[in-house]
Every structure is written in structure tokens, then in C-alpha cells.
Structure 1
């Protein structure tokens, strides 16, 4: 089972989710989103934060990180009994898992992407606030949720590519028109001058003819 929580420490509210035990942790590791934020330490459930669009995992509001860390501490049999617990957190993409690791255990690709937060003591008010928002779902939904998420990302990427192609074609069309104008500018100018000369010559003949006629009389 997967437990979902809502943190109202930020606006808009954030979604947190936790595996029931180490076996559920395996599913969370497997089906995490690139935008997920992983928090864990000691022997505990893995807490994930679903980042909002544009959020950066290492620039999150302190109150939100503390909610995640408090939930991690509360879901650790050992950590829940201790004070001054250090909770580590890292983006989901930094998680490393191989066949030699125990169930639910993970490592990290890059230790520089692992941050820490010290939790002096359990804050019951925080845990109670989060617990009131708890909902439960089957781990089976993790795979379908991720596929739906990836589908949305692909659709958004395709729409962006189409928009970029249209913009590129518009720019190319403008460039072609500007090039044609530059290449034919002399022809258009010469054509205009030719028409003006013809009109001028015609008028000259007409005036001359009238003058000659008057002079003859």
C-alpha cells in the first residue's frame, strides 16, 4: 500500500507519499517520477515529495522540507524514538539500486546531490496535520500513474516541438521574402523609373504638338 499526504505548509499544497514497508519502498524506487524528491535515513519508509512544475529539489521552502523530514522520522521505528535525527534527501534520479542491495535499500549516484536536515524532535502538531490528509492506494497505481505522467510529458514536448517548427518556418518564410525583396529591389526601381520616363515623354510630345500648332497660326 502507498499512503498519500497533503502538505499545506506551502501554497499550492504539495503531495507526499510513503510506502507501507520496505517492499513498498521497492515499488516507489522503481516508479518514482523524475520530479520526485526522496527523503530517508535510518531504517524507515521512503518519503517522496511530488514537486510542482518549476520547483527545484534543492531550493524548496524550509517548511515543506521539514514536513517531509518529520514524516520520515515518524515512519521510522528507531528514528521516531530518538531526538536530533538527521534526515537525508536527494532527487529521485540520484537513487542507485542494484541486485546486491537489500530490499528497500538504495544508494546514490552522486553524493554531492545528497542534502541533510537535522530534526531535533518529533513535532506532533505537524504529524497530526499531515495524518488528517492521509489517503491509501494500491502500489499497482504507481505504474499507471507514472505512465500517465510520462504520456503528459510526451504530449507537452510534442506540442512544444510543433510550436517551434511553426515558428522556425515563419522565420524562414520572412527570410525568403526579405531575400527576394533585396534581389529584386533594383528591378522594381528600374521598372518604376521606366514608367515615369514614358509618361514624361508622352507629355512632352503633346505639349510640343500644341506649341507648334500655335506658332504656325
Structure 2
């Protein structure tokens, strides 16, 4: 089972979830696309924050980070009883898993792509608020959720490519119209000068016979 929680400290609300045990954490690692939180140097569950398209893992609101850190601390048997627990978080894509690692254990591809939050004490108001939103889904649903997410990304990339194509076409059309407008103005100016140079005024009352 996977436990889902809703954090209402952001708009729209954020989805946070955690596996039932370390074995299900293996499935979360395999089919994740989110931001991973776990206690540093302590045994703990891995808490996942589902990022929205406009969010990046390293610029999350402080209130949302606090929710995730508190939930991570509460899901560590040892960490839940201690003060000043450090929670480490990183993008899912930075998690590194090998066959030699214990169940639920992970490393990092790039240790520099991690952040830490010091959680002094457990905040019962935060934990109670999150617990009231808890729902349960089967871990078997994770692959389909991941595929749906990837399909959404691919669709957005296609839409973005189409927007970019239309923008380029619009810019090209505007440049062409601007160029044609300038060329037309130059032609009209040149024709006007030609008529002025080739014409002759009759203001003096001249007649063709005057030149015979």
C-alpha cells in the first residue's frame, strides 16, 4: 500500500506520499518522478513530494518543505523520538540504486544535488493536519501513474513545439511584411523623384512654339 497525503499550504494543494514499508519503497524508487525526502543518517521511510509542472525541487516554499520534513521525521522510528533530526531531499532522478544495496537503501548520482532541513522537534499540528487527508492506493497503480505522467510531459512538449513553430512563423511573416513595406516605400519614393525630374512646369506660360 501507498499512503497519500494532501498538503494545503500551497495553492494548488500538494500531494505527498510514502510506502507502507521498505519493500514498497523499492517500487516508489522504481516508478517515481518526484522529490525524495528521508532522514539523514537514520533509518526512515522515504517521503515523496509530487512536483507540479511549475515547481522545481530546489525552490520549494518553506511551508511545504516543513510539511514534508515533519512527515519524514514522523515516519522514522528513531527519528520520531529524537530532536534536531536532519532531513535530506533530492530529485527522484538523482537517486542511485544498485543490487548491492539493502532493501530501501539509496545513494545519489550527484551529492551536490541535495538539500538538508534541520527539524528541531515534532510538530503535532502539522502531522495531525496531514493525517486527516490520508488515503491509500495499491502500489500496483504506480506504473500506470508514472506512464500517465510521462504521457503528459510528452503532450506538453508537443504543445510547446507547436507554440514555438507558430511563433517563428509569425515572426518570419512580420519580418517579410516589414521588408515588403520598406521596398514598396522606396519604389514609391523613387517613382516620385523620377516624375519630378522628367516633368516640366508650365507656370511661366511657356509654349512649345517658344522653342522653335
TM-score by length of structure 2 reads 0.82
- The CA deviation at 1:11 is 3.2
Gaps of 5+ in 1: 213-217
Match of residue 11 from structure 1: 11
Computing the radius of gyration from Cα coordinates, the structure with the larger value is 1
- The CA deviation at 1:132 is 0.7
Gaps of 5+ in 2: none
Match of residue 28 from structure 2: 28
| Matches for 1:1-150 after TM superposition, within 5 Å | 1-33=1-33, 36-41=34-39, 42-150=42-150
**Distance across 2 between alignment mates of 1:193 and 1:99:** 84
Aligned alpha-carbon RMSD (Å) = 2.6
- The CA deviation at 1:39 is 0.5
Relative to total residues, which structure has the larger helix share, 1 or 2?
1
- The CA deviation at 1:161 is 0.8
Distance 1:121 1:190, change over 3 A: closer
**Distance across 1 between alignment mates of 2:56 and 2:145:** 21
**Distance across 1 between alignment mates of 2:2 and 2:184:** 70
**Distance across 2 between alignment mates of 1:162 and 1:178:** 24
**Distance across 2 between alignment mates of 1:20 and 1:48:** 13
- The CA deviation at 1:106 is 0.5
**Distance across 2 between alignment mates of 1:98 and 1:26:** 11
Greater CA drift, 171-180 or 94-103 = 171-180
**Distance across 1 between alignment mates of 2:80 and 2:181:** 76
- The CA deviation at 1:100 is 1.4
Greater CA drift, 187-196 or 36-45 = 187-196
Distance 1:8 1:183, change over 3 A: closer
Aligned length: 205
- The CA deviation at 1:182 is 5.2
TM-score by length of structure 1 reads 0.81
**Distance across 1 between alignment mates of 2:117 and 2:128:** 21
- The CA deviation at 1:77 is 2.2
Query: Residue 162 in 1 paired to residue 162 in 2?
Result: yes
CA distances 1:73-118 after superposition (whole Å, capped 9, x unpaired): 2222222233332221111121111121112111011212222222
